[in-house]
Amino acid sequence: MKVTAILIALVGSAAAFAPAQEARSNTALNADLQGMSGATAPFKGFDPLGLATLGSDATFAWFRAAELKHGRVAMLATTGYIVQASGVHFPGMLSHDVSFESLSTMKPLDAWAAVPAEGQSQIIATILLAEIITEGKETHYTKGGELPTIVFPPIDFSKVDDETLTLKRSRELNNGRLAMIAIMSFVAEANIPGAVPALVNSPMF
């Protein structure tokens, strides 16, 4: 991620050689920040590092897509952590010597290490496939296409009015932001006891 951020910064710096175009882009980005999905109270337009003005429109679209993807993954991870920590897990065996019950008693990183290499490869391959599907659209989101979406089964939002759709998108983004904070807190407390005071003495950890 650090290498990617550096490359993005370099691209943004190179764009400075076209000052008129960059100025128009930054103005549009600043305007979009206030009215885009996810810009809600109590932190409407919250951007202390000025990331919305870094680079071009394509950079901004990449940031939004990254936030959307990470938020969705974090919501799944947070839900899975809570469910598993509550004692709910799949029955039977994951492999001939690893049960789902045993995984539910482990810390997140230990549970991943306990998954056989074949299972880890399948998970990574599924993630790669999802990335190929979302990134391989005819018009990429950094060039004006739709943001990445994977929904099974597909849901038709064409009949949803714009106001309702914006509200639902804002809810998804805000829930994803909260989930990213939550899962980072869960993993930190599970591996470094006392790292998150609010979770100290919780039976989940």
pLDDT in tens, 110-126: 889 999 999 999 999 99
Place of tokens 């306990």: 114
Contact call for residues 55 and 16 (beta carbons, < 8 A): no
Contact call for residues 173 and 38 (beta carbons, < 8 A): yes
Amino acid, res. 40: T
Q: For position 153, what pLDDT does the model report?
A: 57
Q: For position 49, what pLDDT does the model report?
A: 80
pLDDT at 171 over 60: yes
pLDDT at 138 over 90: no
pLDDT at 133 over 60: yes
Mean pLDDT value across residues 99-106: 88
Q: What are phi and psi of 71, to 5 degrees?
A: -65, -40
Q: Report pLDDT digits (tens) over 32-82.
A: 666 677 777 777 777 778 777 787 888 888 888 888 899 999 999 999 999
87: Cβ contacts below 8 Å, ≥ 6 apart: 104
CA distance from start to end of the chain: 28
In angstroms, the CA 129 to CA 176 distance is: 22
